[in-house]
Amino acid sequence: MLDKTKKDWWKSAVFYQVYPKSFQDTDGDGIGDIPGIISRLDYLEKLGIDGIWLSPVYASPQRDNGYDISDYRDIHPPFGTMADMEELIAEADRRGITIIMDLVLNHSSDQHSWFLSAKADKNSPYHDFYIWRDGAPDCPPNDMRATFGGPAWSYVPEIGQWYFHQFSPWQPDLNWANPAMRRELYDMIRFWVDKGVGGFRLDVIDNIGKEPDNQITCNGPKLHEYIRELRREAFREDTLVTVGEAWSANVDLARLYAEPGGSELSMIFQFEHMCVDYGRDKWDARPLPLVKLKECFQRWQTGLAGRGWNSLFLENHDLPRIVSAWGDDKKYRVESAKMLAAMCHGMQGTPYIYQGEEIGMTNIRLPIGEYDDLEIHNAYREGLARGETPERVMEGIYAKGRDNARTPMQWTDGEYAGFSAAKPWLPVNPNHSEINVRAALADPDSVFYFYQKLIALRKKYPVFREGGFTLLNPEDENVFAYVRDTEEERLLVVCNFTMWEQPEVCPAAFRGAEVLAANYKDPGGPLRPYEARMLYVKS
């Protein structure tokens, strides 16, 4: 077990993201809940993870599945009670699992009492908690667009003002220029630290320094000043792990957020690698350009070595299932899921596994009416308005829609996959008959045991945490191979990204090396479809 009183304990940790609405239902309403998470802690302990990143469980109208919070100090009733949450923290702790809560500090729900008061009365002490501009009802302050469609400004006739919302009208942006608002957030964070939470994932943290008048959303001039204040005032303990979500980050910006002195955050989630297959936008997905992906990882691995810290991930609740996106979710599902895991977990950083990734869950295809996500419905409307055919728009949604990752966790081959006794809020993937936790646990060659092994290897060999990174054969379009090394150890990771045989990659130093992990028996010779090998030598 990791010593979590050590400042940088999270550098040796592996985290697991739980999306509560889809993890495990216990009260038969078709919606996952906190008692459900508690009931699965033994499973997560078996996997070997050190912490859970819990997507929002706060009180919320659920317009954006909890990323629209109406009370930061309360629990969404269908998920359970505060007592359930306290029990989860305690039960997880008993198993050496730290709970990291999701914090949405950029915006609240439009149903938060602060916003209700702010929009009812210009003289309310909460008015200035949000971003308002005067103006005529037919003339928004500028033409900025919201991420989930439509203008980024909405008008409130009762007070004759516009409010700013980067995401949807139900998610008004908080005004970080207001010190009283910031103080409320810091106090709220301390409320959760006092309950025993071990850290936070900070939703769209790169947005908090926005200057809408200058059309600046990400990386505003005061962004890092705010984050440093947040660190000083709210994240006082060195041992808290803090992960900022920053779609706009490049390597230089990441060094600011995660500099080793610890004045800001432990690490960030950056998404450059997840965007290499975007065409015009994410809905216009192209085949994976492997050379570009390799170049991207190399830049991040070498760029942050000793000067920051990477997070390592291929999935989350906003992204498609990786085995469908970059692997083969049919014939070579098991092989390619393991290959992608090896590629990711061999690098330097802190790995995050998204629920279901560890059993190789796949994307889903639904009729448009069965999707729940507001982003999907907006993309559909906008695609048709642009003149695209429904078929073409649906292809984009099948490839990249966020509900791919949000279908219920597949525990068994039974009705509703053992997720719930009732019809779930989002359809279960029909392939749960084959892909499910029960089957994975019964099969020693399953994707589950491969993840379990990768987690154990990271704990055992310092090279995973400390080693330098060297990319081999950068121009090879089919195989991703790299070496990690310290003065004492060397690790080779070789991954065939195709369903065809590829020439062997094995530098002389690794001839006869120990095989730490592999997804085929008897690794050696040409690489088989989606083959992955992890070789190790003492240097």
250 binds ligand TEU (CB under 6 A): no
The distance of closest approach from Cβ of residue 60 to ligand TEU in the complex, given in angstroms and rounded to an integer, is 11
Pick 402 or 533: Cβ nearer ligand TEU: 402
Look up residue 432 and give its two tokens. 């749960």
Residue of 203, 329, 335, 358 marked catalytic: 203
Which residue has the CB atom at the shortest distance from ligand TEU?
Answer: 67
**Cβ contacts of residue 162 below 8 Å, gap of 6+?**
132, 133, 134, 135, 140, 141, 153, 154, 155, 156
Burial of 420 (0-12, 13-18, 19+ CB in 10 A): buried
Query: Whole-angstrom Cα distance, residue 126 to residue 175?
Result: 10
Active site residue 504: no
Burial of 499 (0-12, 13-18, 19+ CB in 10 A): middle
Contacting ligand TEU within 89-118 (CB under 6 A): 104
The distance of closest approach from Cβ of residue 174 to ligand TEU in the complex, given in angstroms and rounded to an integer, is 12
Q: Sheet harboring 132-134: ordered strands across?
A: 132-134, 161-164, 153-156
Pick 282 or 333: Cβ nearer ligand TEU: 282
Pick 202 or 447: Cβ nearer ligand TEU: 202
x/- contact string, 345-384, with ligand TEU (CB under 6 A)? ------------------------------x---------
The distance of closest approach from Cβ of residue 58 to ligand TEU in the complex, given in angstroms and rounded to an integer, is 12
318 binds ligand TEU (CB under 6 A): yes
Active site residue 466: no
Query: Whole-angstrom Cα distance, residue 130 to residue 103?
Result: 17
64 binds ligand TEU (CB under 6 A): yes
SS3 92: helix
Burial of 326 (0-12, 13-18, 19+ CB in 10 A): buried
- Sequence-ordered alpha helix ranges (H) in 171-289: 179-194, 223-233, 251-257
484 binds ligand TEU (CB under 6 A): no
Handedness of CA 298, 304, 306, 311 (dihedral sign): negative
402 binds ligand TEU (CB under 6 A): yes
> Where are the strands (E) in 161-312, listed by range?
161-164, 199-202, 241-245, 267-269, 311-312
Contacting ligand TEU within 131-170 (CB under 6 A): 147, 167
Query: Whole-angstrom Cα distance, residue 21 to residue 400?
Result: 20
479 binds ligand TEU (CB under 6 A): no
**Cβ contacts of residue 194 below 8 Å, gap of 6+?**
none
Pick 76 or 402: Cβ nearer ligand TEU: 402
- The alpha carbon of 264 is separated from its chain's Cα centroid by a whole number of angstroms, namely 20
Contacting ligand TEU within 293-312 (CB under 6 A): none
The distance of closest approach from Cβ of residue 67 to ligand TEU in the complex, given in angstroms and rounded to an integer, is 3
203 binds ligand TEU (CB under 6 A): yes
The distance of closest approach from Cβ of residue 418 to ligand TEU in the complex, given in angstroms and rounded to an integer, is 25
Burial of 136 (0-12, 13-18, 19+ CB in 10 A): exposed
**Cβ contacts of residue 368 below 8 Å, gap of 6+?**
376, 377, 380, 390, 394, 397
Pick 139 or 275: Cβ nearer ligand TEU: 275
Pick 67 or 313: Cβ nearer ligand TEU: 67
Checking DSSP bridges between strand 153-156 and strand 51-54, what pairing results, if any? unpaired
- The alpha carbon of 53 is separated from its chain's Cα centroid by a whole number of angstroms, namely 9
The distance of closest approach from Cβ of residue 117 to ligand TEU in the complex, given in angstroms and rounded to an integer, is 22
Among 29, 43, 190, 247, binds ligand TEU (CB under 6 A): 247
The distance of closest approach from Cβ of residue 176 to ligand TEU in the complex, given in angstroms and rounded to an integer, is 15
Residue of 64, 110, 245, 335 marked catalytic: 245
Pick 71 or 259: Cβ nearer ligand TEU: 71
Pick 149 or 262: Cβ nearer ligand TEU: 149
Among 67, 79, 163, 464, binds ligand TEU (CB under 6 A): 67
| Total chain residues near ligand TEU (CB under 6 A) | 14
Q: Which residues are catalytic?
A: 203, 245
Residues in touch with ligand TEU (CB under 6 A): 64, 67, 104, 147, 167, 203-204, 245, 247, 282, 317-318, 375, 402
